[in-house]
Chains A and B, each alone.
Chain A
Amino acid sequence: MKSLTIALLLLVLSLVVGETAFAQMKLNGAGATFPYVIYSKWFDVYSKKSGVEFNYQSIGSGGGIKQVTEGTVDFGASDGPMSDAQLQEAKGKQGTDILHIPTVMGADVVAYNLPAAGKDLRLTPDVLAGIFLGQITNWNDSKITSINPGKNLPDEAIIVAHRSDGSGTTYIFTDYLNKVSKTWAVNVGKGTSVNWPAGLGGKGNEGVAGIVKQTEGAIGYVELAYAVKNNLPYALMQNKEGAFVEATFESVSAAAAGASKNMPEDLRVSITNPDGKGSYPISGFTWLLIYQNMKDKSKAQEIVKFLKWAMADGQSYTKDLYYAPLPEAVVKLCLKKIDTISTN
């Protein structure tokens, strides 16, 4: 009996102590895998600085949109902006507008596994669409060899890899193909999940990178950071002006430079296939989806503080992780938008 009493006392004590420890703020978010690398860094640095803990689940942009609509998270993240219909649905369910706050920019690169081709394989929009439509099926097809005169491409089948789950990385990629290929626009369309004409499906950016890394002759689209971390060579894409551009933070920033002039009021804009000689054509913003009018005002205040930090100090972490920082003009628009989040 005595040991039981002691055990019970200890249990109660630990709960009390635990309560005070858990009084620290915890914010839950879910969504895109595309920016997961930099969000983890930000949450880690920011929580050391401010004591606010973030719990982010990278389940895919589609998942982020869904959870934000259902109200199971404090904020969401997506690389594909929500459509008007989705915004209406969310407003109906949560009673408030959802704001899109761009955080960083990234690039979808076309990674490939073909040791004979080496680095810097060149691809044009038509050839890329042809490969992903399943029309170009061999690496030494004349359409590919004609734009890569210096390379000795082997007679090997092209194995296409794409995402099997709903994804903003897919959204940016299919948005680009939608703009540059009429056949793609008619037959496939754009979205976080599409009916792929060809290829194997991998789960997450990690899944696609895994398929490309393992399978010789494979080609797939992944976020730049995943290609670099896995040492996968990626192609030079021909942009609107005809130049073959590598995905670097300069070329991605160049893609956004024009966009900020015609940015719509709700900050949902696509920057694929932009003007500009130095622009990388398959770039995109990634957004945090924030409730304008959160029920828990203390959480809203913490989110606003975090967002302001992300717009300032947060941008300095982008280069090392292969993302591009937001242009100044876009940061200004974001700060204006952040001020509309109701914190009292």
Chain B
Amino acid sequence: MAPPPTVIVGAKKRKIINMGDLVFQGSTTFFAFLVFALVFLMAYEMYRGSGLSIDKFGWSFLWREIWDPVQDEYGALVFIFGTFVSSVLALVLALPLSIGVAVFLSELAPRWLEKPVSFLIELLAAIPSIVYGLWGIFVLVPWLRISVEPLLSKNLKFLPLFRGAPYGFGMLAAGIILAIMVLPIITSISRDVLQAIPTAQREAALALGATRWETTRIILSDAKSGILGATLLGLGRAVGETMAVTMVIGNRPEISASLLAPGYTMASVIANEFTEATSDMYISSLIEIALILFAMTVLLNAAARLIVWGVTKKFKTA
């Protein structure tokens, strides 16, 4: 902001301070810091709330595998594993599809097609999580239980990934639902990143005799870090997703190598058990799980934003 003008009145200099500007500047700064303070306050409250379980379990809470409300013995490992595996599975399923759609929308699609398809993809992001959950229970899970999982467990039995009874409910169902939910995020950000790369790059490649596919490969390698940022944002959403996952994952606090087995994520255990947790240690452990989830999400989102910001800045100054 430019310093207020100085006016020489008589022998003294006087700054004309516009009251309105000062109030405006002050209040907007205040609101900006308020948002920051809110996040900080939430983290502090969670830290305070998990005091009991931090005192009892310390760092070992992160790698204890037990979850027993009767004995008041808790550990987060099962949930960290569940969150991690379901999110990574979602990315493995969604990423090829997302990048494909993004490339289609930015490079190959005619203008009249690109807008409606982009709109439809973004509509997927607007569907509430619980609607996905209901669809999962009534459509996805029976389909997996009847058609897909028996096939997988019979033919790919040699892989520990596909062993076990076909419940329908389980890690695979959660991974598929999360893949559908992160697809719009990764697609729209990747598409934006690809469109931010100047046309000059494409023209240069084509001028040198590259084919359409080779040009696209060059553009993709330019957009690498942007797509990585989009992936991390998608991962951030997958990690925090609650209702859709809890309705199809089977809610079983157990670590298993098989994708067909039921599991439990951090967000699901909080949603299921927090309102009914009666002992103080129980509540404190659940709050500690919330704190771990909070930290994970903040780190992922911060990393993603930094990367995406870096890429778009690089191409703006080019």
Contact = CB atoms under 8 A, between A and B. Distances in A.
A228 interface: no
B139 to A, nearest CB: 11
A165 B70 contact: no
What is the interface residue range for chain B against chain A?
20 to 34
A201 B278 contact: no
A192 B68 contact: no
Given A191-B70, A200-B262, A201-B251, A166 B273 contact: yes
B70 A63 contact: no
Interface residue SS majority, chain B = loop
Given A159-B165, A200-B262, A165 B272 contact: yes
A220 to B, nearest CB: 13
A321 to B, nearest CB: 24
A327 interface: no
Contact of A193 (B141, B246, B273): B273
Contacts, number: 88
A194 B69 contact: yes
Contacts of A86: 278
B169 interface: yes
B210 to A, nearest CB: 53
B250 interface: yes
Contacts of A194: 68-70
Contact of B276 (A157, A165, A188): A165
A202 B70 CA distance: 19
B66 interface: yes
A60 B275 contact: yes
Interface residues of A, number: 32
B168 interface: yes
B84 interface: no
Nearest to A190: B70
A62 interface: yes
Nearest to B275: A63
Interface string B43-78: 000000000000000000000001111110000000
A59 B274 CA distance: 11
A193 B250 contact: no
B278 A215 contact: no
Contacts of A190: 70
Interface in B189-240: none
Interface in A142-201: 157, 159, 164-167, 188-196, 199-201
Contact of A215 (B66, B71, B167): B167
B167 A166 contact: no
A271 interface: no
A288 interface: no
A193 B276 contact: yes
A211 B169 contact: yes
Contacts of B152: none
A119 interface: no
Contacts of A192: 276, 278
Given A194-B70, A195-B66, A157 B169 contact: no
A157 B165 contact: yes
B96 interface: no
Contacts of A189: 70-71
Nearest to A201: B251
A159 B264 CA distance: 17
Nearest to B264: A201
Contacts of B167: 159, 200, 215
8 contacts: A157-B165, A165-B272, A189-B70, A194-B69, A201-B251, A210-B137, A214-B141, A214-B142
Given A192-B276, A203-B272, A214-B168, 13 more contacts: A60-B276, A62-B276, A62-B277, A62-B278, A164-B273, A190-B70, A194-B69, A195-B68, A199-B252, A200-B169, A200-B252, A201-B264, A214-B137
Interface of B: 66-71, 137, 141-142, 145, 165, 167-169, 246-247, 250-253, 262, 264, 272-273, 275-278, 282
Interface of A: 59-63, 65-66, 86, 157, 159, 164-167, 188-196, 199-203, 210-211, 214-215
Closest 5 CB pairs of A and B: A166-B276, A62-B276, A201-B251, A195-B68, A164-B251
